[in-house]
Amino acid sequence: MPTALITGITGQDGLYLSELLLSKGYEVHGIVRGQNNPKRELVRRTVPDVHLHTGDLTDLSSLIRAMATAQPDEVYNLGAVSFVAYSWENARVTTDVTGNGVLNVLEAVRLYCGDDLSRVRYYQASSSEMFGKVQEVPQRESTLLWPRSPYGVAKVFGHYMTINYRESYGMHASSGILFNHESPRRGPEFVTRKVSMAVARIAEGRQDKIVMGNLDAQRDWGFAGDYVEGMWRMLQQPEADDYVLATGETHSIRDLLDVAFAHVGIEDWSGLVEQDPRFMRPAEVDLLVGDASKARDRLGWSPTVGFEDLVRMMVEHDLALLRAER
């Protein structure tokens, strides 16, 4: 039975990855920050077979302890301060966790492995936010990185540190450059879940409008459940490498609103959406769309859930939650 250790297990990716690995017969361990983390119960309820350890990406000693206890064959570093807007408010914390945290996990793996670095395979959650002010369309593994947020800068640091550990120490360390991937498990602070929750509440007569930022930003949105399959496939390869995971399609926030409102029978949402400068990014990422041909050719990976089905899934989930409260 292979063993995996996951940081960021309380997020949507961590939960979907845990379910995937458990279905494949893995023993799964997860690191949760803080003894009283309210999301600890969420993990226990969703994936009760996961073994949880207390740890912190900014505390190397806690990561070393988790490695020694779990004794993993694979480590998936999904932990980060992942809400981009927050990174402008607190660039220091974002850098410490999302950037330096990667170095800590890599170092914990290296120290645990000792002279046999083949003992552990490592996955780093890189991000399409690293492309920022995009230098080519679509973006691929070789595209120049030009991050436009403290979060993106921190992710670039972690991405290149992973490459450095692979090239310097011979570690089996791969990075997945994942484009936006969403699900009903996405946090309410993210735009897709913000929209799905608000549309459900409007349809149920519990909310009057949505206040949004830039409606013209374009993203490549896929389903998180598909993307964790790609993570796992990366670590099954004989050689470590970096891979873009994306759908290859781009949609605007307006498209997101169109599909979400249409699902509840509202065709004209113009009177239900307001724009507020407070929700505009200081430096916008205008167009993200990925070329996942390398992952398709080498990993046999491709997304199974399209954009419209994804949005409908999220709205339907939030409608069901509201109706269950009645």
DSSP 133-156: S-SSSSB-TTSPP---SHHHHHHH
Q: What are phi and psi of 270, to 5 degrees?
A: -55, -35
**Taking residues 256-263, what's their average pLDDT?**
98
Residue among 27, 28, 18, 7 at smallest CA distance from 108: 7
Q: With pLDDT > 70 as the criterion, what percentage of the chain qualifies?
A: 97
pLDDT value of position 34: 83
CB atoms within 10 A of CB 99: 22
Over residues 266-301, the pLDDT tens digits come to: 999 999 999 987 776 665 666 889 999 999 999 999
pLDDT value of position 286: 66
- Can you list the positions of beta strands (E) in the chain? 3-7, 27-32, 51-54, 74-77, 121-127, 172-178, 181-182, 210-212, 218-219, 222-223, 242-245, 251-252, 273-275
Tell me the C-alpha distance between 43 and 179, whole Å.
24
**Taking residues 158-183, what's their average pLDDT?**
98
The answer to whether 181 touches 190, Cβ cutoff 8 Å, is: no
The SS3 of residue 263 is: helix
In terms of DSSP bridges, do strands 27-32 and 3-7 run parallel, antiparallel, or are they unpaired? parallel
Better pLDDT: 276 or 158:
158
Q: Round the average pLDDT of the chain to a whole number and report it.
A: 95
Tell me the C-alpha distance between 54 and 264, whole Å.
42
Over residues 17-75, the pLDDT tens digits come to: 999 999 999 999 999 998 788 999 999 999 999 999 999 999 999 999 999 999 999 99
**Taking residues 293-321, what's their average pLDDT?**
98
The Cα diameter of the chain in Å comes to: 64
Question: Quick check: 120 pLDDT over 70?
Answer: yes
Tell me the C-alpha distance between 123 and 174, whole Å.
5
Over residues 87-106, the pLDDT tens digits come to: 788 899 999 999 999 999 99
Indicate the pLDDT class of residue 250, thresholds 50, 70 and 90. Answer: very high
**Taking residues 157-186, what's their average pLDDT?**
97
Catalytic residues: 127, 129, 151
Over residues 200-238, the pLDDT tens digits come to: 999 999 999 999 999 998 999 999 999 999 999 999 999
**Taking residues 112-121, what's their average pLDDT?**
95
The SS3 of residue 242 is: strand
Tell me the C-alpha distance between 200 and 195, whole Å.
8
**138: preceding bond cis by omega (within 30 degrees):** yes
Question: Quick check: 151 pLDDT over 80?
Answer: yes
Residue among 105, 95, 116 at smallest CA distance from 75: 105
